[in-house]
Amino acid sequence: MLYKDKDVSWYALQVRPRFEKVVSRNLQAKGYEEYLPVQSRLSRWSDRTKAIELPLFPGYVFCQFDMNERLPILMIPGVNSVVGFGKNATPIEVSELDGIRSVLRSGSDYQPWPFLQVGQVVRVAYGPMEGTQGIVVRTKDAFRLVISVSLLQRAVAVEIDRKCLEVISSPKPPRLPGITSEATNALAG
Protein backbone atom coordinates (compact mmCIF):
# COMPACT_ATOMS: atom_id res chain seq x y z
CA MET A 1 0.00 0.00 0.00
CA LEU A 2 1.22 3.46 -0.79
CA TYR A 3 0.87 5.78 2.16
CA LYS A 4 1.03 9.48 1.48
CA ASP A 5 0.50 11.89 4.35
CA LYS A 6 -0.75 9.08 6.60
CA ASP A 7 0.33 8.03 10.06
CA VAL A 8 1.64 4.51 9.45
CA SER A 9 3.50 2.40 11.97
CA TRP A 10 4.43 -1.23 12.44
CA TYR A 11 2.06 -3.26 14.60
CA ALA A 12 1.99 -6.84 15.79
CA LEU A 13 -1.11 -8.76 14.80
CA GLN A 14 -2.16 -11.61 17.02
CA VAL A 15 -3.33 -14.41 14.75
CA ARG A 16 -4.94 -17.82 15.08
CA PRO A 17 -2.47 -20.60 15.92
CA ARG A 18 -0.77 -21.95 12.77
CA PHE A 19 -2.31 -19.19 10.60
CA GLU A 20 0.79 -16.99 10.46
CA LYS A 21 1.67 -17.85 6.84
CA VAL A 22 -1.96 -17.60 5.67
CA VAL A 23 -2.34 -14.15 7.25
CA SER A 24 1.02 -13.06 5.83
CA ARG A 25 0.00 -14.10 2.28
CA ASN A 26 -3.39 -12.37 2.63
CA LEU A 27 -1.76 -9.15 3.83
CA GLN A 28 0.61 -9.23 0.84
CA ALA A 29 -2.29 -9.88 -1.55
CA LYS A 30 -4.08 -6.78 -0.19
CA GLY A 31 -0.93 -4.67 -0.69
CA TYR A 32 0.17 -4.30 2.92
CA GLU A 33 3.80 -4.45 3.99
CA GLU A 34 4.08 -7.39 6.37
CA TYR A 35 6.91 -9.19 8.12
CA LEU A 36 6.84 -12.81 9.27
CA PRO A 37 10.25 -13.82 10.66
CA VAL A 38 10.76 -17.59 10.34
CA GLN A 39 13.25 -20.17 11.48
CA SER A 40 14.20 -23.30 9.58
CA ARG A 41 14.06 -26.53 11.57
CA LEU A 42 14.56 -30.16 10.64
CA SER A 43 11.49 -32.27 11.18
CA ARG A 44 11.81 -36.04 11.22
CA TRP A 45 9.17 -38.51 10.22
CA SER A 46 9.51 -42.28 10.14
CA ASP A 47 10.33 -42.27 6.41
CA ARG A 48 12.13 -38.93 5.87
CA THR A 49 13.65 -35.75 7.27
CA LYS A 50 12.55 -32.40 5.93
CA ALA A 51 13.49 -28.78 6.62
CA ILE A 52 10.40 -26.76 7.54
CA GLU A 53 9.95 -23.06 8.21
CA LEU A 54 8.29 -22.15 11.50
CA PRO A 55 7.35 -18.67 12.72
CA LEU A 56 9.98 -17.21 15.04
CA PHE A 57 7.14 -15.67 17.08
CA PRO A 58 4.25 -18.16 16.90
CA GLY A 59 0.86 -16.46 16.86
CA TYR A 60 2.11 -13.10 15.56
CA VAL A 61 2.62 -11.34 12.22
CA PHE A 62 3.99 -7.80 11.89
CA CYS A 63 2.28 -5.34 9.54
CA GLN A 64 2.72 -1.68 8.65
CA PHE A 65 -0.51 0.29 8.36
CA ASP A 66 -2.47 3.35 9.42
CA MET A 67 -4.26 2.47 12.67
CA ASN A 68 -7.27 4.57 11.60
CA GLU A 69 -7.72 2.20 8.65
CA ARG A 70 -7.35 -1.13 10.47
CA LEU A 71 -10.74 -2.66 9.65
CA PRO A 72 -9.63 -4.36 6.38
CA ILE A 73 -6.77 -5.98 8.30
CA LEU A 74 -9.02 -7.19 11.12
CA MET A 75 -11.33 -8.75 8.50
CA ILE A 76 -8.56 -11.03 7.17
CA PRO A 77 -9.29 -14.65 8.16
CA GLY A 78 -7.11 -15.67 11.08
CA VAL A 79 -6.40 -12.16 12.44
CA ASN A 80 -7.59 -11.94 16.04
CA SER A 81 -6.45 -8.46 17.07
CA VAL A 82 -3.83 -5.74 16.95
CA VAL A 83 -1.52 -6.12 19.96
CA GLY A 84 -1.51 -3.34 22.51
CA PHE A 85 -2.29 -2.37 26.07
CA GLY A 86 -5.94 -2.32 27.03
CA LYS A 87 -7.96 -1.10 24.07
CA ASN A 88 -5.06 0.88 22.62
CA ALA A 89 -2.94 -0.71 19.89
CA THR A 90 0.75 -0.11 20.47
CA PRO A 91 3.23 0.33 17.60
CA ILE A 92 6.34 -1.84 17.46
CA GLU A 93 9.69 -0.06 17.63
CA VAL A 94 11.28 -0.13 14.16
CA SER A 95 14.70 -0.68 15.77
CA GLU A 96 13.42 -3.93 17.31
CA LEU A 97 12.23 -5.22 13.94
CA ASP A 98 15.49 -4.10 12.34
CA GLY A 99 17.36 -6.09 14.99
CA ILE A 100 15.35 -9.22 14.14
CA ARG A 101 15.98 -8.69 10.40
CA SER A 102 19.68 -8.25 11.08
CA VAL A 103 19.87 -11.55 12.98
CA LEU A 104 18.05 -13.44 10.22
CA ARG A 105 20.26 -11.92 7.47
CA SER A 106 23.49 -12.63 9.39
CA GLY A 107 23.50 -16.34 8.64
CA SER A 108 24.34 -17.05 12.28
CA ASP A 109 22.62 -19.78 14.26
CA TYR A 110 19.61 -18.25 16.05
CA GLN A 111 16.71 -19.53 18.12
CA PRO A 112 13.74 -18.21 20.11
CA TRP A 113 14.77 -17.07 23.57
CA PRO A 114 12.92 -16.18 26.76
CA PHE A 115 12.27 -12.44 26.97
CA LEU A 116 14.78 -10.53 29.10
CA GLN A 117 13.90 -7.08 30.33
CA VAL A 118 17.00 -6.41 32.41
CA GLY A 119 20.67 -7.11 31.83
CA GLN A 120 23.62 -5.70 30.02
CA VAL A 121 22.71 -3.78 26.90
CA VAL A 122 25.27 -4.03 24.10
CA ARG A 123 25.71 -2.97 20.49
CA VAL A 124 27.41 -5.00 17.76
CA ALA A 125 30.45 -2.92 16.72
CA TYR A 126 31.29 -4.76 13.48
CA GLY A 127 30.32 -7.72 11.35
CA PRO A 128 27.08 -8.69 9.61
CA MET A 129 24.93 -7.44 12.52
CA GLU A 130 26.78 -4.13 13.02
CA GLY A 131 24.65 -1.57 14.88
CA THR A 132 22.22 -4.15 16.28
CA GLN A 133 21.45 -3.68 19.96
CA GLY A 134 20.47 -6.33 22.47
CA ILE A 135 21.25 -7.98 25.78
CA VAL A 136 24.20 -10.33 26.19
CA VAL A 137 23.89 -13.63 28.02
CA ARG A 138 26.24 -16.57 28.37
CA THR A 139 25.20 -20.16 27.80
CA LYS A 140 27.76 -22.89 28.46
CA ASP A 141 30.84 -21.69 26.56
CA ALA A 142 29.08 -19.38 24.11
CA PHE A 143 27.84 -15.81 24.21
CA ARG A 144 24.43 -14.96 22.80
CA LEU A 145 22.97 -11.62 21.85
CA VAL A 146 19.28 -11.48 22.77
CA ILE A 147 17.11 -9.20 20.62
CA SER A 148 13.78 -8.43 22.31
CA VAL A 149 10.38 -7.32 21.05
CA SER A 150 9.12 -5.59 24.18
CA LEU A 151 5.45 -5.44 23.26
CA LEU A 152 5.21 -9.19 22.61
CA GLN A 153 7.44 -10.10 25.56
CA ARG A 154 9.34 -12.38 23.16
CA ALA A 155 12.96 -12.50 22.08
CA VAL A 156 15.40 -14.24 19.77
CA ALA A 157 19.00 -15.15 20.59
CA VAL A 158 21.94 -15.46 18.23
CA GLU A 159 25.42 -16.80 19.02
CA ILE A 160 27.98 -14.04 18.74
CA ASP A 161 31.68 -13.39 19.29
CA ARG A 162 31.96 -11.18 22.37
CA LYS A 163 34.90 -9.30 20.80
CA CYS A 164 32.55 -7.53 18.39
CA LEU A 165 30.30 -6.21 21.20
CA GLU A 166 30.51 -2.83 22.90
CA VAL A 167 28.71 -2.00 26.13
CA ILE A 168 25.93 0.60 25.95
CA SER A 169 24.73 0.37 29.54
CA SER A 170 25.60 -1.79 32.48
CA PRO A 171 22.80 -1.89 35.05
CA LYS A 172 23.07 -3.76 38.33
CA PRO A 173 23.07 -7.47 37.44
CA PRO A 174 19.61 -9.00 37.80
CA ARG A 175 18.92 -12.23 39.63
CA LEU A 176 17.11 -14.30 37.05
CA PRO A 177 16.32 -17.98 37.46
CA GLY A 178 18.75 -20.08 35.46
CA ILE A 179 21.05 -17.17 34.59
CA THR A 180 24.11 -16.65 36.75
CA SER A 181 25.49 -13.27 37.70
CA GLU A 182 28.51 -14.23 35.57
CA ALA A 183 26.28 -14.19 32.48
CA THR A 184 25.12 -10.64 33.07
CA ASN A 185 28.63 -9.48 33.89
CA ALA A 186 30.24 -11.26 30.93
CA LEU A 187 31.39 -8.08 29.23
CA ALA A 188 31.93 -5.93 32.29
CA GLY A 189 35.26 -7.41 33.27
In this predicted model, what pLDDT tens digit does every residue of 48-86 receive, in sequence order?
A: 899 999 999 999 999 999 999 999 999 999 999 999 988
Phi, psi of 146 (to 5 degrees): -100, 120
Identify whether residues 69 and 118 lie together within a single domain.
no
Question: CB count, 10 Å around CB of 126?
Answer: 12
Q: Do residues 30 and 74 share a domain?
A: yes
Burial of 17 (0-12, 13-18, 19+ CB in 10 A): exposed
- Is residue 18 in a domain? yes
Check residue 93 and give left, alpha or beta (phi > 0: left; psi -120 to 50: alpha).
beta
Q: Is residue 3 part of a domain?
A: no
Residues 81 and 102 in one domain: no
Q: 102 and 170: one domain?
A: yes
Bigger pLDDT: 114 or 182?
114
Residues in the chain: 189
Q: Pick the more confident residue, 116 or 150.
A: 150
CATH of the domain at 45: 3.30.70.940
- The answer to whether residues 65 and 101 belong to one domain is no
Clarify whether residues 125 and 78 are in a common domain.
no
Q: Are residues 112 and 70 in the same domain?
A: no
Q: How confident is the model at residue 150 (pLDDT cuts 50, 70, 90)?
A: confident
156 with 171, same domain? yes
The distance from CA 118 to its chain's CA centroid, rounded to whole angstroms, is: 17
Please give the tally of structural domains in the chain.
2
Do 129 and 54 sit in the same domain of this protein? no
Q: Tell me: do 103 and 176 sit in the same domain.
A: yes
- Read off the pTM: 0.71
Exposure string for 34-67, b = 16+ CB within 10 A, e = fewer: bbbbeeeeeeeeeeeeeeeeebbbebbbbbbbeb
Domain that holds residue 108: 94-184
Same domain, 76 and 113: no
